[in-house]
Amino acid sequence: MTALDLSSPVAVVGTGTMGQGIAQVALVAGHPVRLYDAAPGRAREAAAAIGARLDRLVEKERLTAAGRDAARARLLPVEELTGLAGCALVVEAVLERLDVKQELLRALEDVVPDDCLLATNTSSLSVTAVGGALRLPGRFVGLHFFNPAPLLPLVEVVSGSATDVTSATRAYETARAWGKTPVACADTPGFIVNRVARPFYAEAFAVYESQGADPATIDAVLRESGGFRMGPFELTDLIGQDVNESVTHSVWRSFFQDARFTPSLAQRRLVESGRLGRKTGRGWYDHADGAERPEPHTADPAGPPAYVIAEGGLGPASELLALIREAGVEVRERDEDGGTRLVLPGGGKLVLADGRTTAEFRDVVHFDLALDYRGATRIALSHARHTSPAAVAEATGLFQALGKKVSVIGDVPGMIVARTVARIVDLAVEAVARGVATEDDVDTAMRLGVNYPLGPFEWSRRLGRGWAGELLDELHGIDPSGRCAPSLALHQYACAADEREDTP
């Protein structure tokens, strides 16, 4: 099954931001495009807005004047639904309400031919439920574009329970022909991106609610150590707290209030107070003109230790040993069964975040996971109240000697980057195990849909298949509420990498 022929008319119903963006994508790809909106005159306004954006593309030399003129000639706003007769594909981008979408689709079936592909751009509703009212549900598919649709490459192609393989394949190939990067996905709450991305927000909010660190510090650590383009607090201010919370609630309810998707009370209070982010001028941060952005906590300078003793390797942080030597700090290596830590001259121990609290140990300082310890510009440290100031100072001075800023946070098990990545990996592994998508498609979706520095499976291969499960086991042992419980799929994923005995 191939993509739709460029001569085939494509229609978009609903002319808000997403509808206009999808229409522009199809139009620039070469299709005749028809626009419809139930509000009188809205389709004509949308056509004018799209035309203006085409003008800007010409100004930026991304489109020729001739290409713009040809595209404008192919764009047709219509005032009646009957104007969509003869279309080969209709994409709806109307209000996110099941009854509204179902009523529209039933009306469309009376207008378009039986071989017309029908699609929804829903991000929160079940594709199966939306198409459930159709006479021919096999031709119905989800085409979830990301905003802004003309710029972001990812499209989740979602097959509902009744979607025919031929329909899904045609939608997939059409999205690819439009210059997008499609990923195939089964109909599950949140699809790929909105399902797997929940811990990026949830873990940051949990650290904040436990008073482990402030939003500016958490954002800085995830950016400068974790390699994420934006931190979760600044990102949700950009998205809109109400929008982000609504997606979280939708996924949580759809999974029958699974504790792993529990919404944040702190975010709920933010929404209730009307502090929705940039669009209202205030969210986690103050976005008023001239408002000062709070600085992340950064430790004062401390002297580096004269030496460190490396007991065992450092696992995912093993590259630190070379960096320490390059900084002129002596590394003394000592074999230690099960040891994966650095011992400081004063007797304190520096241990990679592993899901345990520092309160369990004497003079232990945890350090957080980094995407790339050489390239990271900030490292987070965590310690208990009873940890000696000398151990904290030596740990701080060591990382400062490596050219890193240091953020000292509270005694947070799993810290910030490590617990976030572990939970993302867990949800990704479970999604694949449940047939939602392939490993490659999950990685592609998370890199392109939310700009993650690595896909979850890429991260898992780098850290080791058993790393996420071991950390989450520790977290679940401390907090047995279920929100950090590793999935059965993650356990099986880790076991599959090891040689096992034939019998128990």
**Do residues 156 and 190 make contact, with C-beta atoms less than 8 angstroms apart?**
no
The runs of H, that is alpha helices, within 210-351 are: 215-224, 232-239, 241-254, 265-272, 320-326
Q: Is 121 a catalytic residue?
A: no
Catalytic, out of 31, 92, 126, 156: 156
Q: Which amino acid, residue 408? A: V
Q: Is 254 a catalytic residue?
A: no
359-393 b/e with 16+ CB inside 10 Å = b?
Answer: eebebbbbbbbbbebeebebbbbbbbeebeeebbb
Alpha-carbon torsion, ordered 59, 65, 68, 72, to 10 deg: 120
**Do residues 227 and 200 make contact, with C-beta atoms less than 8 angstroms apart?**
no
Euclidean distance between CA atoms 246 and 124, whole angstroms: 9
For residue 32, how far is the Cα from the chain centroid? 33
Catalytic, out of 31, 121, 126, 144: 144
Catalytic, out of 121, 159, 167, 194: 194
Catalytic, out of 31, 92, 121, 123: 123
Euclidean distance between CA atoms 383 and 359, whole angstroms: 7
Alpha-carbon Rg of the chain, whole angstroms? Answer: 26
Euclidean distance between CA atoms 348 and 288, whole angstroms: 45
Closest CA to 475 of 419, 420, 417, 429: 419
Q: Is 194 a catalytic residue?
A: yes
Residues taking part in catalysis:
123, 144, 156, 194
